[in-house]
């Protein structure tokens, strides 16, 4: 891996080599943490919502329903690093079902960093779901290191809410009726002290965050692959009146994969 942008700060950053986890953690530090720049003050509670997605050269977010075929070893190292830096990982119910989500795990390599920032041993998984059509017997609910959160509407099916709570999940209301309001997701998580947020999609949830104007950063891995097919784009949601401009923050490269990071301009 080597840094392409901004210009490498040290000769080591320009070498084509495997970066250790400490270097990746420094490269992807959240605002307000060492190396991450000024704290996020523009949103209530200083919350920062970052997305991590992978795309093929022709814009596919998935191949045959899953993102893993578009990934690489370096992409997975960054994936794990981004999770290890977050307070909570926000994900849509459909992605939980398709990708076979499991609880986040504690990683010794990041333990000291998390402790210094007052974080728990692992990020919480926060699932956005209107109907709570989830399998509550999965390890994501029965065996997480920290309780899984389920964000839903005020009128979510009562039996499914009861089932979620019985499985050990914390149910959080983040919208009226059965709909989850994407603007409220960062707010309700920040109220629980979860301000460093990472969303891994899927495309529909990411589209809702983008349209609501609450997406602060996009970490996009561009795979040197052509997938074709009918896969959605990484963002698939309601249109925005005016496309929001993001500024390029960094580019890393390994084995033809480009790991880009954009922040709200």
Predicted pLDDT at 41: 59
Separation of alpha carbons 224 and 131, rounded Å: 37
Predicted pLDDT at 161: 96
Predicted pLDDT at 65: 76
Q: Which residues of the chain have pLDDT under 70?
A: 40-44
20: which residues sit within 8 A by CB, 6+ positions away? none
Predicted pLDDT at 239: 84
Fold designation for 2-9+16-38+72-264? Dihydrofolate Reductase, subunit A (3.40.430)
Name the DSSP letter for residue 203.
Answer: H
Predicted pLDDT at 201: 81
Residue spans of the domains in the chain: they are: 2-9+16-38+72-264
For residues 203 and 232, is the Cβ–Cβ distance under 8 A? Answer: yes
Beta-carbon-side half-sphere exposure of residue 193 (alpha carbons within 13 Å): 6
Predicted pLDDT at 42: 60
Say which residue the tokens 């080599």 belong to. 17
Name the DSSP letter for residue 253.
Answer: E
Residue of 78, 55, 83, 81 whose CA lies nearest to 203: 55
Predicted pLDDT at 57: 95
């Amino acid at each position: 891996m080597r840094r392409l942008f901004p210009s490498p700060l040290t000769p080591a950053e320009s070498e084509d080599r495997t970066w250790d986890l400490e270097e990746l953690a420094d490269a992807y530090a959240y605002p307000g943490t060492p190396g991450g720049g000024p704290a996020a003050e523009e949103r209530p509670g200083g919350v920062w919502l970052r997305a991590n997605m992978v795309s093929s050269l022709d814009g596919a977010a998935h191949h045959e329903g899953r993102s893993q075929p578009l990934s690489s070893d370096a992409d997975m190292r960054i994936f794990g690093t981004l999770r290890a830096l977050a307070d909570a990982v926000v994900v849509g119910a459909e992605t939980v079902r398709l990708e076979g989500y499991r609880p986040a795990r504690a990683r010794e390599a990041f333990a000291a960093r998390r402790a210094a920032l007052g974080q728990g041993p692992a990020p919480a998984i926060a699932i956005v779901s209107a109907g709570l059509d989830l399998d509550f017997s999965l390890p994501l609910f029965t065996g997480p290191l920290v309780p899984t959160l389920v964000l839903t509407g005020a009128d979510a099916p009562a039996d499914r809410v009861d089932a979620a709570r019985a499985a050990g999940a914390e149910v959080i209301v983040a919208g009226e009726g059965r709909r989850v309001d994407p603007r409220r997701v960062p707010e309700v998580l920040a109220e629980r002290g979860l301000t460093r947020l990472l969303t891994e999609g899927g495309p529909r949830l990411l589209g809702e965050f983008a349209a609501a104007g609450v997406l602060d950063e996009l970490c996009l891995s561009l795979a040197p692959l052509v997938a074709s097919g009918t896969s959605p784009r990484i963002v698939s949601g309601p249109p925005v009146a005016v496309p929001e401009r993001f500024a390029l923050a960094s580019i890393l490269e390994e084995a033809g994969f480009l790991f880009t990071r954009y922040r709200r301009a």
